[in-house]
Amino acid sequence: MKFSIVVYAAPYSSEAAATAFNFTKTLLDQGHELYRLFFFGDGVHNANRLAVVAQDEVNLQQRWDQLITTHRLDAVVCVSSAIRRGLLDSQESERYELDAISVYGSSEIAGLGQLIDAVINSDRVVNFG
């Protein structure tokens, strides 16, 4: 079955970010297809590459990055949610004349069109917030 997952929750603020991760990992382990992972609203923090977590705690952002990289997932961070929360890739960083890159390279910053495309092309869209 072809899934898309939408995440609205930030890691460490809400369990929903971790639930989304566990759900996504499970569906991939079961051999289902993930059409797209979409980080929206506070959910964009899941793609932050500048977070530091105590050694005895789970670094959820890093786990997402590994999952996305290992499975070559299509992960999208909503641009309007991202830039106002300081999550930038090289392109947005240049566009707004800032000097940092704070999003993992495994995710792409793009618009809501990518979410609508996911709705059109997936069998199931599951939201976590």
In angstroms, rounded to a whole number, what is the distance separating the alpha carbons of residues 47 and 71?
Answer: 16
Q: Which residues are catalytic?
A: 78
Residue 34, SS3 per DSSP: strand
Handedness of CA 43, 59, 36, 105 (dihedral sign): positive
Q: Which of 27, 74, 93, 101 binds another protein (CB under 8 A)?
A: 27
Binding to another protein (CB under 8 A) within 40-59 occurs at: 40-41
Q: Does residue 94 sit in helix, strand or coil?
A: helix
* Stretch near another protein under the rule CB under 8 A, chosen from 55-63, 69-77, 80-88, 98-106: 80-88
Using rule CB under 8 A, residue 125 touches another protein:
yes
Identify any residues that bridge with 126 across adjacent strands, giving them in sequence order.
5
Contact 1, 33 (CB under 8 A): yes
Contacts with another protein by CB under 8 A lie at 1, 3, 6, 8, 15-16, 19, 22-23, 26-27, 30, 32, 40-41, 78-81, 83, 95-97, 111-113, 115-117, 119-121, 123-129
